[in-house]
Amino acid sequence: MAFVTLKDMGSDFHRLERFDGEDFVRWQRKMHFLLVTVKVYYVILNPRRPEPGKNEEESVAKTHERLRWDQDDEICRGHILNGMSNTLFDAYHTVKTAKELWNQLERRYIIEDATSKRFIISNFFYYKMVDGRSVMEQFNGIKSILDRYSQRKLVLDEFIVVTSIIDKLPPS
């Protein structure tokens, strides 16, 4: 049985593409997986335990749990920020908690993702094949658009796809 250290896992994290404002949902899924792998995603789901009041005593276990959450929140926030382009890092590095950062990114880029879905749909329906370029090259262009459909979990009936592609063929 092979043991994987955090150092070994950290060396593979550089493979995550930096988020530059494009394909947020894909980046978010990859980042979610990374945060679950390092066991810090829970800070996005669970709020921080409040500090005890002036007259309250806190058990050692609860203090340890609260301090652990603070540390994991900083690790989670750091991984999210590290997964961003320099421009986005500069824009978001002042956000205090991982949950707040995650929510701000969702609010901003889910809306833009919906706009990009409309763009992809219109790209497919208005795509025209032309003479002078190989049919396979143009088919690969259409396939690329359809791949982006599936990445965004858009469903298009196969009959409509086939009929549309036939209609896009050049007259020759």
Instruction: Report pLDDT digits (tens) over 47-70.
Output: 888 887 777 787 888 889 999 999
Compute the distance between CA of residue 167 and CA of residue 46 in angstroms, rounded to an integer.
Answer: 52
Determine what percent of the chain is predicted with pLDDT higher than 70.
87
Cα–Cα distances (Å) from 69 to 36, 41, 45, 53, 104, in that order, read: 14, 11, 12, 19, 20
Render 15-69 in DSSP notation, one character per residue. GSPPB-SS-HHHHHHHHHHHHHHTT-THHHHSPPPPPP-TT----HHHHHHHHHH
Give the mean pLDDT of 103-124: 77
In this structure, the number of other CB atoms found within 10 A of the CB of residue 143 comes to 12
Pairwise CA distance, residues 50 & 112, whole Å: 35
| Cα–Cα distance measured from residue 34 to residue 96, given in angstroms and rounded to the nearest whole number | 20
**Does 108 or 43 have the greater pLDDT score?**
43
136 pLDDT higher than 70? yes
Name the residue with higher pLDDT: 132 or 91.
Answer: 91
> Where along the chain do its domains lie?
6-112, 127-172
Residue 145: which pLDDT band, with cuts at 50, 70 and 90?
confident
CA 125 – CA 20 distance, rounded (Å): 27
pLDDT at 1: 44
Q: List 11's β-bridge partners, or say none.
A: none
Residue 147 or 39, more confident: 39
Q: For residue 9, is pLDDT > 60? A: no
In the numeric block, which tokens belong to residue 96?
Answer: 């205090």
**6 vs 132: which has the higher pLDDT:** 132
CA separation for the pair 35, 160 (Å, rounded): 39
Rounded distance, CA 142 to CA 124, Å? 7
